[in-house]
């Protein structure tokens, strides 16, 4: 190979090498630029110790006494006397159902009972008269017997005595006959009375009345609607007050007691003082939570059905990490959080020890003061670079 060719080859190597090196430098610079563009914005909070603020539990406002009113009879609604929002009183008529046939049967039964009652009175009067006549005959026979004894005539005495004994027996027979006939008449009267009560009860079932005083919160029917005992016509809410029912973790129940004062906050930030009225002795086996009822006084009336928050007093849990629930990322059955260290993500597996609604206690894996991501974590992965935003 000539010297000229060798020089040419060397020059080509130098030129191509420079191009490759230049491209490599540009590629590295581009990669760095892309890495800068891939930095993700996140919001973080610091892991707290076992002290936490008051916990809020959501619940729905309902009447302390709420009853769905359904008819005892089936039929079509003929009239509605009260509408939603109206105050009603115990025993007040709310609606009627077509019961024309039942009321007709009641009238028949009423007539039958009246007839049976009159028959009983007539029967007793008639047989009382029979007994009275038998007694008169007995008294006459007794007088004749006394006269015969004074006469000394033995044959007359024997005859008078026999007549007297027959007269006494006639009185006894008349009494038994009267008692038997009167009892039979009374029996018929009682049967007629039972039939009357039964028909009256069935007919009265076509009238729906308020079992207690309160306000109609719901009305589910109109005139002409077909109803039955399985259909709720009205929701009646008592005037005694209101309550909120919340579901509280089992471990938190030990911190509560009946009569304890709590605070209820509405969605428009209205604050109301309330008291715990009941704590369920049973825990749901699936959620590990129990029901707590909070009573609101009548003077602090809220809108029925609205959602409110019940604030329970703060409590020291344990010297462990407490984090917001929204910091958790679920993957299958595992829970993770993203820790930010020097603007770099570290994905950490954690174990939940206690659940307090909007906050959870973590057992191991975190240190107090760790910065964990609470917004933007759905797009993160281990070793990602991030920028913390306020």
126-148: pLDDT as tens digits = 989 988 998 998 999 888 888 88
Per-residue model confidence (pLDDT) at position 7: 60
pLDDT at 13 exceeding the cut of 60: no
Pick one of 3.30.70, 1.10.357, 1.10.287, 1.10.3470 as the CATH number of 100-204.
1.10.287
- For 96, phi and psi rounded to 5 degrees? -125, 150
* End-to-end CA, the chain: 70
pLDDT at 370 exceeding the cut of 50: yes
Are residues 236 and 88 in contact, defined by beta-carbon separation less than 8 angstroms?
yes
DSSP 327: G
pLDDT digits (tens, 9 = 90+) for 49-66: 765 557 788 999 888 888
Give the separation between CA 162 and CA 159, rounded to whole angstroms: 5
Per-residue model confidence (pLDDT) at position 35: 47
Classified by CATH at the fold level, domain 40-52+319-388 comes out as 2.40.420
Mean pLDDT, residues 3-14: 57
Per-residue model confidence (pLDDT) at position 70: 92
What CATH number belongs to 55-63+240-312? 2.40.30.170
Torsional sign, CA 191, 192, 198, 201: negative
Cβ-count burial 280-316 (b if 16+ within 10 Å, e if not): eeeeeeeeebbbbbbbbeeeeebebeeebbbbbeebe
pLDDT digits (tens, 9 = 90+) for 148-185: 888 888 888 889 888 888 988 988 998 998 899 989 98
Residues 6+ apart with CB under 8 A from 191: 116
Q: Is 3.40.50.2300 the CATH classification of the domain at 67-96+208-236? A: no
Give the separation between CA 321 and CA 331, rounded to whole angstroms: 21
Are residues 206 and 96 in contact, defined by beta-carbon separation less than 8 angstroms?
yes
Give the separation between CA 72 and CA 230, rounded to whole angstroms: 9
Two structure tokens written together for 137: 């005959």
Apex CA 15: angle with CA 13 and CA 19, to 5°?
A: 110
Mean pLDDT, residues 34-38: 52
Per-residue model confidence (pLDDT) at position 296: 87
Per-residue model confidence (pLDDT) at position 36: 46
Per-residue model confidence (pLDDT) at position 292: 94
H or E element in which residue 78 lies: strand 75-80
Query: What residue spans in the chain does CATH classification 2.40.50.100 cover?
Result: 67-96+208-236
Per-residue model confidence (pLDDT) at position 32: 46
Give the separation between CA 174 and CA 171, rounded to whole angstroms: 5
Q: Which residues pair with 359 in a beta bridge?
A: 324
Give the separation between CA 234 and CA 79, rounded to whole angstroms: 14
DSSP 152: T
> Radius of gyration of the chain from Cα atoms?
47
H or E element in which residue 223 lies: none
Query: What residue spans in the chain does CATH classification 2.40.420.20 cover?
Result: 40-52+319-388
Given the structure tokens 């929002």, which residue do they identify? Answer: 85
Query: What residue spans in the chain does CATH classification 1.10.287 cover?
Result: 100-204
Helix/strand/coil for 100: helix
Dihedral angle computed from the Cα positions of residues 190, 195, 197 and 203, in that order, rounded to the nearest 10 degrees: -170
pLDDT at 306 exceeding the cut of 80: yes
Helix/strand/coil for 353: strand
Mean pLDDT, residues 182-194: 91
Residues 6+ apart with CB under 8 A from 291: 245, 246, 247, 248, 278, 279, 280
Query: What residue spans in the chain does CATH classification 2.40.30.170 cover?
Result: 55-63+240-312
Residue 208 CB coordination number (10 Å): 24
This prediction has a pTM of 0.49
């Amino acid at each position: 190979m000539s010297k000229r060719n060798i020089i040419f080859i060397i020059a080509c190597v130098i030129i191509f090498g420079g191009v490759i090196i230049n491209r490599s430098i540009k590629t590295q610079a581009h990669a760095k630029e892309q890495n800068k563009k891939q930095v993700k914005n996140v919001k973080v909070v610091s892991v707290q110790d076992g002290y936490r603020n008051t916990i809020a539990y959501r619940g729905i406002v309902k009447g302390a006494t709420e009853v769905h009113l359904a008819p005892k009879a089936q039929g079509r609604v003929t009239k509605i006397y009260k509408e939603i929002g109206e105050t009603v009183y115990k025993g007040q008529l709310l609606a009627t159902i077509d019961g024309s046939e039942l009321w007709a049967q009641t009238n028949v039964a009423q007539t039958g009972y009246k007839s049976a009652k009159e028959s009983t009175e007539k029967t007793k009067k008639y047989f009382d008269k029979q007994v009275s006549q038998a007694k008169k005959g007995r008294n006459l026979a007794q007088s004749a017997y006394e006269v015969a004894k004074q006469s000394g005539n033995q044959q007359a005495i024997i005859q008078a005595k026999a007549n007297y004994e027959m007269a006494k027996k006639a009185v006894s027979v008349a009494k038994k006959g009267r008692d038997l006939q009167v009892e039979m008449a009374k029996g018929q009267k009682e049967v007629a009375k039972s039939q009357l009560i039964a028909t009256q009860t069935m007919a009265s079932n076509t009238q729906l009345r308020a079992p207690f005083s309160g306000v109609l919160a719901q009305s589910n029917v109109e005139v002409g609607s077909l109803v039955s005992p399985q259909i709720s016509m009205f929701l009646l809410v008592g005037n005694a007050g209101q309550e909120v029912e919340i579901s509280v973790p089992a471990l938190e129940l030990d911190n509560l007691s009946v009569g304890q004062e709590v605070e209820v906050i509405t969605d428009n930030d209205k604050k109301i003082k309330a008291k715990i009225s009941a704590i369920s002795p049973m825990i749901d086996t699936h959620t590990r939570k129990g029901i707590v009822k909070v009573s609101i006084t009548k003077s602090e009336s809220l809108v029925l059905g609205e959602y409110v928050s019940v604030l329970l007093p703060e409590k020291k849990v344990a010297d462990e990490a407490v984090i917001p629930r929204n910091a958790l990322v679920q993957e299958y059955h595992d829970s993770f959080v993203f820790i930010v260290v020097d603007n770099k993500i570290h994905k950490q597996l954690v174990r939940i020890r206690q659940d307090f609604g909007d906050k959870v206690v973590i057992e191991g894996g975190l240190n107090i003061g760790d910065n964990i991501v609470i917004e933007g974590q759905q797009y993160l992965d281990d070793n990602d670079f991030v920028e913390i935003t306020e």
